Amino acid sequence: MKSKCDIQTPLGEMIALAEQSALTELRFVGQKYAPENTGEWRHDPDHPLFTALREQLDDYFAGRLQTFDLPLAPRGTPFQMAVWELLRGIPSGQTVTYGALAGRLAEQRQGRVPAAQAVGGAVGRNPIAIIIPCHRVLGANGSLTGYAGGVERKAALLELEKAA
């Protein structure tokens, strides 16, 4: 079954999508690369996964949670999935650059180094915001380059994690 839920956060409304018992998407309303139509999904705010998601997001924004514990099932190309898996390994309160992620991916791919721009494209299409922490990736000079949910939100998330 495909379920959806609207979630209010301190940084704006988000839409969560789940199939069966796994989260497939968590996006800010109106962010880049968000699917246009979620009409095929049944509105089910009482789904146990969404209840747990709201509780964990509340704890995260209150500074009480650094690591989420939810079943995830993002969909993407093999390259995107590899990048998103690397994102999950970035600890709360820390950041990496797109180039460093490309280097880590090269280690997994027997030395074939992807362009930092290709990594950036995969990071930008991350379908599960905050939980798969694409906001922790910075430009080569430490700048807050790009965030599908808006650079202001990226800055706020990094500040929240630094304070926690």
150 neighbors 81 (Cβ within 8 angstroms):
no
Q: Which of 11, 116, 134, 137 is catalytic?
A: 134
Mean pLDDT (whole number) for 25-52: 85
The pTM of the whole model exceeds 0.75: yes
Residue ranges per domain, the chain?
A: 2-61, 78-163
Active-site residue flag, 5 = no
Q: Which fold has domain 78-163?
A: Arc Repressor Mutant, subunit A (1.10.10)
| DSSP assignment letter at 132 | S
**Would you say residue 160 has pLDDT above 70?**
yes
Do the domains 78-163 and 2-61 match in fold? no
Integer Cα distance of 16 and 28 in angstroms: 9
**pLDDT of res. 82:** 93
Task: Spell out the CATH class of 2-61.
Answer: alpha beta
Mean pLDDT (whole number) for 26-32: 90
